[in-house]
Structure 1
Amino acid sequence: MGLRHAKADAGGTVLESIGRTLATATNGIRALADHLSSDKTFADALVNAVELMGDGDGRVVVSGVGKSGHIGRKIAATLASTGTSAYFVHPTEASHGDLGMITAQDALVLLSWSGETAELANMLTYAKRFKVPIISISSNRESTLARNSEVALVLPKVPEACPHGLAPTTSAMLQLAIGDALAIALLERRGFSAEDFKTFHPGGKLGAQLRLVHELAHGAGQLPLLPVGRPMSEAVIEMSAKGFGVVGIVDESGKLIGVITDGDLRRHMAGDLLAQPVEDIMSHKPRVVSRDVLASAAMEFMEEHKITVLFLVGDAGAPVGILHIHDLLRAGVA
């Protein structure tokens, strides 16, 4: 067999393996969704878990070992970033002093697929002694962990993607899915807004996308504006002076009623263009946004309508700022 054929056969085997794993993962999520709709006990437990975490005076403390520990760290991070005070404690470290970080006002979220993880024993004992409520995520209703929990989230037993059924794959994904579901339910229950989200994500691209357009826009002194009735000669001067490739036309009350762009100039190019009134050339019903729109939404709006400049308007429709797509790109929104 030639090298090319050997690589082709190997590639086919790899892709078949990946396809089986993705199919197993898809079936696992489908089984979890079916479990939610068919098992009232599970559905009620999820509601109780959200209420327990959302109504408590303390924090949510997440713990687990191995892959469950890695998933637990992600769940704690997602909870914290969406407005629920949460952190992860490793059960081994807990047994060596970190139990003191957990108070009776907190809620414990303990992850163990089998529900019999030995390293969680000291946390269970501590929680019972100091009446710290436990929310468990496991797959065994009769396990030690589930039986000692105030709220037991018992996930459906699903095949692992690992052909030996040993490496936690699908099971870890289900734990993560439930953690995300709880975090989002808490977010919506609390009315956590995009502005709140920005508080916890001030840096990077996400922070840029969560900025409001008025934070990036050019203010009143830089607005290219003319009142209705002025000749196009003044519009060309204003457009060139401000450098945005556009001029806004306002009525007697100061409301923006139209815009003239470079494209409008080209489309109306004629001998008497500069003498014509701006209202005869302007595009009516200009596309505008509120000053409190998210930068990411403004970028999407500009891409959808294939425009590069947006006027920001106030409640009365008067222009209060102007935003160029380059302002969004410089801020890292794209």
Structure 2
Amino acid sequence: MIPQPWLNEMEDGRQETDSWPEASGQLLRLMMARVNTVLLGKTEVVQQSFAALLAGGHVLLEDVPGVGKTMLARAIARVMGGEFRRIQFTSDLLPADVVGGLVWDAKRGDLVFRQGPLMANVVLADEINRTPPRTQSALLEAMEERSVTADGETMLLPAPFMLLATQNPLRDDGTYPLPEAQLDRFLMRLSIGYPAPEYEVQMLENAPQRPQPEQLRPVIIPEEWLRMQRDAQTVHVHPALLAYAVHIAGTTRTAAELSLGASPRATRDWIRAAQATAYLDGRRYVLPDDLKATVEPVLTHRLMLRDDAAASGADPVEVLRRLVAATPVPTPNSESGRRR
């Protein structure tokens, strides 16, 4: 139920808070429904993934092996259309294998630039933490600036550009922790988790008939997805909610248990994720519940515990939950929040 103060605020801007065109909602629901036929019983994770990508961000899927991380990423990539590339990260992968580089063309007798697999609309970086930091850093420019630089030349990536990365837990053998600068470039870090028993039984019973990600048909074209991303960024956010988000981000920077809090980029990503969540729900305005629903997947992976707090068993998730619980939910001011 929408709290009455926010309901009043929405009534004030009725002309601008009507639902989005039904066509966009139908397309998004169809896309998520097709992905849900591949990954059973994980509708919340699917919706969060779509919200992150709709917000113009990238998604890091971190979980134990065998729960469907790669399957989810492949399914999302298929229904979004556009060009799809998969990079299998291994210990011997080099930066040039990702961004591209000069190779010798025997026919031309000259060096020519060969594009790397990053030159695609949707890129699956599978097991990203199995490659050394040198190769991981090759993604930094692509994730933030949507461009790559090779041999002194900078090239823009296709639009839209979305990176879906999977990784096993950092304590796994043969893995390299992602640097903080790269973690901060992922809008959300999500965990799929084990399926409920009834869905696991259903998965086993219908294994021959259940579609594989490669069998899913694209629902949209890249230009349509770009339009949806632009629409999502126009979702109205009340100034009181902006102040609420900034305050919580600020408390993470001064929390006694944390040595690294949420960056300004994290605050921006949190607002965009809340806007995308509202857009997926067919609304032109953000509610406090949209911010609360996205705070953990957007902020938790950007927080770093102090050594003494980690030694005492502190958890970034619990620290964040405490900070959110201690911050009162704002109520709108009917005069300052009225749209013109």
Q: TM-score, normalised by structure 2?
A: 0.24
Larger Rg: 1
Indicate the structure whose relative CO is greater, using CA pairs within 8 Å and at least 6 residues apart. Answer: 2
